[in-house]
Protein backbone atom coordinates (compact mmCIF):
# COMPACT_ATOMS: atom_id res chain seq x y z
CA UNK A 1 0.00 0.00 0.00
CA UNK A 2 1.42 3.37 -0.99
CA UNK A 3 2.19 5.97 1.67
CA UNK A 4 0.53 8.90 -0.12
CA UNK A 5 -2.66 6.95 -0.67
CA UNK A 6 -2.79 6.47 3.12
CA UNK A 7 -2.61 10.24 3.62
CA UNK A 8 -5.54 10.79 1.28
CA UNK A 9 -7.52 8.30 3.36
CA UNK A 10 -6.62 9.78 6.75
CA UNK A 11 -7.81 13.29 5.96
CA UNK A 12 -11.37 12.49 4.97
CA UNK A 13 -12.35 12.06 8.66
CA UNK A 14 -11.83 15.76 9.46
CA UNK A 15 -15.34 17.23 9.25
CA UNK A 16 -16.94 14.41 11.21
CA UNK A 17 -14.35 14.59 13.97
CA UNK A 18 -14.58 18.36 14.34
CA UNK A 19 -18.36 18.25 14.64
CA UNK A 20 -17.99 15.75 17.48
CA UNK A 21 -15.48 17.98 19.23
CA UNK A 22 -17.52 21.16 19.05
CA UNK A 23 -20.68 19.52 20.28
CA UNK A 24 -19.46 18.36 23.65
CA UNK A 25 -20.14 20.10 26.94
CA UNK A 26 -17.12 22.27 27.73
CA UNK A 27 -18.05 23.63 31.14
CA UNK A 28 -15.37 23.33 33.80
CA UNK A 29 -12.42 22.49 31.54
CA UNK A 30 -9.81 24.17 29.35
CA UNK A 31 -12.10 24.13 26.32
CA UNK A 32 -14.43 26.66 27.98
CA UNK A 33 -11.72 29.34 27.75
CA UNK A 34 -12.05 32.11 25.17
CA UNK A 35 -9.12 30.89 23.09
CA UNK A 36 -11.22 27.85 22.08
CA UNK A 37 -14.82 28.87 22.82
CA UNK A 38 -14.70 32.17 20.89
CA UNK A 39 -12.99 30.65 17.84
CA UNK A 40 -14.95 27.50 16.91
CA UNK A 41 -13.58 25.11 14.29
CA UNK A 42 -16.74 25.37 12.21
CA UNK A 43 -18.82 28.48 11.63
CA UNK A 44 -22.30 29.19 10.33
CA UNK A 45 -20.72 30.66 7.16
CA UNK A 46 -17.02 30.63 6.26
CA UNK A 47 -15.64 32.18 3.02
CA UNK A 48 -11.94 31.92 2.10
CA UNK A 49 -9.69 32.71 -0.86
CA UNK A 50 -6.31 30.98 -1.21
CA UNK A 51 -3.71 31.50 -3.98
CA UNK A 52 -0.34 29.72 -4.17
CA UNK A 53 2.94 30.40 -5.94
CA UNK A 54 4.10 28.36 -8.93
CA UNK A 55 6.29 25.27 -8.54
CA UNK A 56 7.47 22.36 -10.70
CA UNK A 57 5.24 19.33 -11.19
CA UNK A 58 5.56 15.89 -12.77
CA UNK A 59 2.85 13.47 -13.90
CA UNK A 60 3.65 9.75 -13.90
CA UNK A 61 1.84 6.61 -14.99
CA UNK A 62 3.04 3.28 -13.60
CA UNK A 63 6.33 4.95 -12.62
CA UNK A 64 7.03 6.49 -16.05
CA UNK A 65 7.16 10.28 -16.39
CA UNK A 66 4.71 11.49 -19.05
CA UNK A 67 4.47 15.26 -18.38
CA UNK A 68 6.38 18.06 -16.62
CA UNK A 69 5.81 21.77 -16.12
CA UNK A 70 4.89 24.39 -13.54
CA UNK A 71 1.65 24.58 -11.59
CA UNK A 72 -0.02 27.08 -9.32
CA UNK A 73 -3.55 27.08 -7.93
CA UNK A 74 -6.28 29.41 -6.72
CA UNK A 75 -9.14 28.30 -4.46
CA UNK A 76 -12.30 30.03 -3.33
CA UNK A 77 -14.31 28.14 -0.72
CA UNK A 78 -17.71 28.76 0.85
CA UNK A 79 -18.75 26.51 3.77
CA UNK A 80 -21.80 26.62 5.99
CA UNK A 81 -23.09 24.63 8.96
CA UNK A 82 -26.64 24.99 10.27
CA UNK A 83 -27.97 23.56 13.58
CA UNK A 84 -31.26 21.82 12.75
CA UNK A 85 -32.27 20.31 16.09
CA UNK A 86 -30.68 20.01 19.51
CA UNK A 87 -31.66 18.23 22.72
CA UNK A 88 -28.94 19.27 25.21
CA UNK A 89 -26.88 16.40 26.52
CA UNK A 90 -28.69 13.87 24.30
CA UNK A 91 -28.32 14.48 20.58
CA UNK A 92 -28.23 17.11 17.85
CA UNK A 93 -28.66 17.31 14.09
CA UNK A 94 -26.69 19.62 11.79
CA UNK A 95 -26.88 20.29 8.06
CA UNK A 96 -23.93 21.60 6.10
CA UNK A 97 -22.66 22.27 2.63
CA UNK A 98 -19.74 23.65 0.70
CA UNK A 99 -18.80 25.10 -2.67
CA UNK A 100 -15.25 25.28 -4.00
CA UNK A 101 -14.09 27.02 -7.16
CA UNK A 102 -10.55 25.90 -7.96
CA UNK A 103 -8.29 26.73 -10.89
CA UNK A 104 -5.13 24.85 -11.85
CA UNK A 105 -2.72 26.94 -13.94
CA UNK A 106 -0.32 24.78 -16.01
CA UNK A 107 2.66 26.50 -17.69
CA UNK A 108 5.91 25.44 -19.40
CA UNK A 109 4.27 22.09 -20.13
CA UNK A 110 6.34 19.37 -21.79
CA UNK A 111 4.78 16.02 -22.68
CA UNK A 112 4.70 13.28 -25.26
CA UNK A 113 1.67 14.26 -27.34
CA UNK A 114 1.86 10.95 -29.19
CA UNK A 115 1.21 9.07 -25.91
CA UNK A 116 -2.56 8.45 -25.71
CA UNK A 117 -2.44 6.99 -22.18
CA UNK A 118 -3.26 10.29 -20.40
CA UNK A 119 -5.77 13.00 -21.30
CA UNK A 120 -4.69 16.56 -22.09
CA UNK A 121 -5.17 19.11 -19.31
CA UNK A 122 -6.13 22.67 -20.17
CA UNK A 123 -3.60 25.43 -19.44
CA UNK A 124 -6.24 26.78 -17.03
CA UNK A 125 -8.28 23.89 -15.65
CA UNK A 126 -11.36 25.25 -13.84
CA UNK A 127 -13.33 23.04 -11.45
CA UNK A 128 -16.50 23.50 -9.41
CA UNK A 129 -17.04 21.25 -6.41
CA UNK A 130 -20.30 21.03 -4.42
CA UNK A 131 -21.11 18.96 -1.35
CA UNK A 132 -23.93 18.68 1.14
CA UNK A 133 -24.04 16.70 4.37
CA UNK A 134 -26.35 15.79 7.22
CA UNK A 135 -24.77 15.02 10.59
CA UNK A 136 -26.28 13.42 13.66
CA UNK A 137 -24.46 13.55 17.02
CA UNK A 138 -25.53 11.32 19.90
CA UNK A 139 -24.16 11.47 23.47
CA UNK A 140 -24.12 8.04 25.08
CA UNK A 141 -22.89 6.56 28.37
CA UNK A 142 -20.92 3.32 28.18
CA UNK A 143 -19.65 1.96 31.52
CA UNK A 144 -20.30 5.41 33.01
CA UNK A 145 -18.07 7.01 30.37
CA UNK A 146 -19.35 9.64 27.93
CA UNK A 147 -19.01 8.54 24.30
CA UNK A 148 -19.84 10.93 21.47
CA UNK A 149 -21.20 9.12 18.40
CA UNK A 150 -21.31 10.96 15.08
CA UNK A 151 -22.94 9.79 11.84
CA UNK A 152 -22.44 11.75 8.64
CA UNK A 153 -24.00 11.37 5.19
CA UNK A 154 -22.34 13.36 2.40
CA UNK A 155 -23.23 13.78 -1.27
CA UNK A 156 -20.94 15.61 -3.68
CA UNK A 157 -20.56 16.53 -7.32
CA UNK A 158 -19.78 19.40 -9.64
CA UNK A 159 -21.52 21.88 -11.94
CA UNK A 160 -22.07 18.88 -14.24
CA UNK A 161 -24.11 16.98 -11.68
CA UNK A 162 -24.12 14.48 -8.82
CA UNK A 163 -21.12 12.13 -8.46
CA UNK A 164 -20.92 10.31 -5.09
CA UNK A 165 -22.59 9.47 -1.77
CA UNK A 166 -20.34 8.74 1.24
CA UNK A 167 -21.37 7.73 4.76
CA UNK A 168 -19.05 7.93 7.76
CA UNK A 169 -19.15 7.21 11.47
CA UNK A 170 -17.02 8.59 14.31
CA UNK A 171 -16.85 7.57 17.98
CA UNK A 172 -15.01 9.84 20.43
CA UNK A 173 -14.19 9.00 24.06
CA UNK A 174 -13.08 11.91 26.31
CA UNK A 175 -10.47 10.45 28.67
CA UNK A 176 -9.37 13.45 30.71
CA UNK A 177 -10.73 16.95 31.39
CA UNK A 178 -9.37 19.64 33.71
CA UNK A 179 -8.94 23.41 33.78
CA UNK A 180 -5.66 23.01 31.84
CA UNK A 181 -5.99 19.83 29.76
CA UNK A 182 -8.50 18.05 27.52
CA UNK A 183 -7.69 14.66 25.97
CA UNK A 184 -9.86 12.33 23.87
CA UNK A 185 -9.37 9.30 21.62
CA UNK A 186 -11.63 8.11 18.86
CA UNK A 187 -12.10 6.06 15.73
CA UNK A 188 -13.40 6.90 12.27
CA UNK A 189 -15.05 4.62 9.71
CA UNK A 190 -16.16 5.39 6.14
CA UNK A 191 -18.05 3.51 3.43
CA UNK A 192 -16.16 5.17 0.57
CA UNK A 193 -14.90 2.62 -1.98
CA UNK A 194 -11.88 4.82 -2.75
CA UNK A 195 -10.53 4.52 0.82
CA UNK A 196 -8.12 1.63 1.27
CA UNK A 197 -8.14 2.05 5.08
CA UNK A 198 -11.78 2.58 6.07
CA UNK A 199 -11.01 2.57 9.84
CA UNK A 200 -8.67 5.16 11.37
CA UNK A 201 -7.83 6.34 14.93
CA UNK A 202 -8.26 9.99 15.98
CA UNK A 203 -6.78 12.02 18.84
CA UNK A 204 -7.76 15.37 20.37
CA UNK A 205 -5.44 17.15 22.81
CA UNK A 206 -5.78 20.70 24.15
CA UNK A 207 -3.50 21.96 26.91
CA UNK A 208 -2.55 25.23 28.57
CA UNK A 209 1.25 25.42 28.93
CA UNK A 210 1.96 26.14 32.61
CA UNK A 211 0.57 29.57 33.55
CA UNK A 212 1.67 31.29 30.34
CA UNK A 213 -0.42 32.55 27.40
CA UNK A 214 0.27 29.59 25.08
CA UNK A 215 -1.99 26.61 24.41
CA UNK A 216 -1.47 23.38 22.49
CA UNK A 217 -4.36 22.56 20.15
CA UNK A 218 -4.06 19.18 18.41
CA UNK A 219 -6.70 17.38 16.33
CA UNK A 220 -4.62 14.55 14.91
CA UNK A 221 -3.83 13.65 12.27
CA UNK A 222 -5.46 16.83 10.88
CA UNK A 223 -3.66 19.69 12.67
CA UNK A 224 -1.29 20.75 15.46
CA UNK A 225 -1.03 24.39 16.58
CA UNK A 226 0.40 26.56 19.32
CA UNK A 227 -2.14 29.30 20.03
CA UNK A 228 -2.34 32.41 22.18
CA UNK A 229 -4.77 35.27 22.67
CA UNK A 230 -3.49 38.70 21.62
CA UNK A 231 -6.42 40.46 23.24
CA UNK A 232 -9.99 39.46 24.09
CA UNK A 233 -11.04 39.50 20.40
CA UNK A 234 -8.00 38.20 18.51
CA UNK A 235 -5.91 35.01 18.41
CA UNK A 236 -2.49 34.11 16.97
CA UNK A 237 -1.51 30.56 15.96
CA UNK A 238 1.56 28.82 14.56
CA UNK A 239 1.76 25.20 13.46
CA UNK A 240 0.74 22.88 10.66
CA UNK A 241 -2.36 21.38 9.12
CA UNK A 242 -3.10 18.89 6.38
CA UNK A 243 -5.25 20.31 3.59
CA UNK A 244 -7.02 17.72 1.41
CA UNK A 245 -8.72 18.73 -1.82
CA UNK A 246 -10.90 16.90 -4.31
CA UNK A 247 -11.90 17.97 -7.81
CA UNK A 248 -13.81 16.27 -10.61
CA UNK A 249 -12.07 16.37 -14.00
CA UNK A 250 -14.08 15.80 -17.20
CA UNK A 251 -11.62 15.09 -20.06
CA UNK A 252 -14.21 14.98 -22.89
CA UNK A 253 -11.60 13.10 -24.93
CA UNK A 254 -11.99 9.84 -26.81
CA UNK A 255 -10.67 6.74 -25.04
CA UNK A 256 -11.08 8.06 -21.48
CA UNK A 257 -13.75 7.84 -18.80
CA UNK A 258 -16.31 10.62 -18.56
CA UNK A 259 -15.09 11.76 -15.13
CA UNK A 260 -12.01 11.36 -12.93
CA UNK A 261 -11.49 12.41 -9.31
CA UNK A 262 -8.29 14.33 -8.58
CA UNK A 263 -7.29 14.08 -4.89
CA UNK A 264 -4.34 15.90 -3.38
CA UNK A 265 -3.02 16.46 0.15
CA UNK A 266 -0.83 19.40 1.17
CA UNK A 267 1.10 19.77 4.42
CA UNK A 268 0.92 23.46 5.34
CA UNK A 269 3.32 25.01 7.86
CA UNK A 270 2.03 28.49 8.66
CA UNK A 271 1.07 31.30 11.00
CA UNK A 272 -2.52 32.48 11.42
CA UNK A 273 -4.26 35.58 12.76
CA UNK A 274 -7.98 35.56 13.64
CA UNK A 275 -10.06 38.55 14.69
CA UNK A 276 -13.61 38.65 16.04
CA UNK A 277 -15.17 41.96 15.00
CA UNK A 278 -18.24 41.36 17.17
CA UNK A 279 -20.25 38.38 18.46
CA UNK A 280 -21.01 37.24 14.91
CA UNK A 281 -18.53 38.51 12.31
CA UNK A 282 -14.79 38.02 12.03
CA UNK A 283 -11.90 37.55 9.64
CA UNK A 284 -8.73 35.49 9.40
CA UNK A 285 -5.49 35.56 7.44
CA UNK A 286 -2.78 32.93 7.32
CA UNK A 287 0.20 32.10 5.17
CA UNK A 288 3.27 29.94 4.97
CA UNK A 289 4.86 27.01 3.19
CA UNK A 290 2.90 24.27 1.45
CA UNK A 291 4.47 20.89 0.67
CA UNK A 292 2.14 18.90 -1.61
CA UNK A 293 2.15 15.15 -1.39
CA UNK A 294 1.42 13.09 -4.46
CA UNK A 295 -1.89 13.94 -6.11
CA UNK A 296 -3.80 11.05 -7.66
CA UNK A 297 -6.21 10.82 -10.59
CA UNK A 298 -8.77 8.04 -10.10
CA UNK A 299 -12.01 6.85 -11.55
CA UNK A 300 -14.96 7.69 -9.28
CA UNK A 301 -15.23 5.24 -6.34
CA UNK A 302 -12.06 3.41 -7.37
CA UNK A 303 -8.92 2.84 -5.29
CA UNK A 304 -6.69 2.34 -8.35
CA UNK A 305 -4.48 5.27 -9.35
CA UNK A 306 -4.88 6.19 -13.02
CA UNK A 307 -2.02 8.72 -12.86
CA UNK A 308 0.08 10.41 -10.16
CA UNK A 309 1.01 14.10 -9.89
CA UNK A 310 4.07 15.20 -7.90
CA UNK A 311 4.63 18.87 -7.06
CA UNK A 312 7.45 20.78 -5.36
CA UNK A 313 7.09 23.08 -2.34
CA UNK A 314 5.37 26.45 -2.78
CA UNK A 315 4.12 29.39 -0.72
CA UNK A 316 0.48 30.13 -0.08
CA UNK A 317 -1.85 32.72 1.43
CA UNK A 318 -5.33 32.17 2.86
CA UNK A 319 -7.68 35.03 3.71
CA UNK A 320 -11.30 34.81 4.74
CA UNK A 321 -14.32 36.16 6.55
CA UNK A 322 -16.78 34.25 8.71
CA UNK A 323 -20.12 34.52 10.44
CA UNK A 324 -20.80 32.52 13.60
CA UNK A 325 -24.00 32.14 15.54
CA UNK A 326 -24.31 33.78 18.94
CA UNK A 327 -23.56 31.56 21.91
pLDDT one-digit tens code per residue, 31-74: 778 888 888 888 899 999 999 999 999 999 888 888 999 999 99
Is residue 192 within 8 A of residue 299, CB to CB? The reply is no
Q: Any idea which of 22-26, 34-38, 64-68, 216-220 has the lowest mean pLDDT?
A: 22-26
What are the extents of the domains in the chain? 3-323
Distance CA 93, CA 85 (A): 5
Q: Which of 13, 41, 78, 36 is nearest to 222 (CA)?
A: 13
Whether residue 13 is predicted with pLDDT greater than 60 in this model: the reply is no
Torsion, CA 8, CA 10, CA 14, CA 19, rounded to 10 = 150
Whether residue 241 is predicted with pLDDT greater than 90 in this model: the reply is yes
What was the pLDDT predicted at 4?
45
CATH class name, domain 3-323: mainly beta
pLDDT one-digit tens code per residue, 139-183: 998 888 899 999 999 999 999 999 999 999 999 999 999 999 999
What was the pLDDT predicted at 304?
82
Task: Read off φ and ψ for residue 6, nearest 5 degrees.
Answer: -60, -40
What was the pLDDT predicted at 327?
63
Whether residue 221 is predicted with pLDDT greater than 50 in this model: the reply is yes
Helix (H, G, I), strand (E, B) or coil at 27: coil
Q: Which of 171, 318, 170 is nearest to 243 (CA)?
A: 318
More confident site: 37 or 96: 96
Amino acid sequence: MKYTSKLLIILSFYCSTINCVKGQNTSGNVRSESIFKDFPYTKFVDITYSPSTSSDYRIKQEGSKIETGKLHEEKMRVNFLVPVYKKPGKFEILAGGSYKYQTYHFTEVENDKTNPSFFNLNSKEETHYFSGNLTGIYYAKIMNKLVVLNTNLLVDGSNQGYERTIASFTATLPLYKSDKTYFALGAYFTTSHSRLLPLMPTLIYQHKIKDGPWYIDAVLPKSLYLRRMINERSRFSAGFWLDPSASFIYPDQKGFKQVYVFNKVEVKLDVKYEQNLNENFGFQIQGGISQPYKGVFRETNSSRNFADLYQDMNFYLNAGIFYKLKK
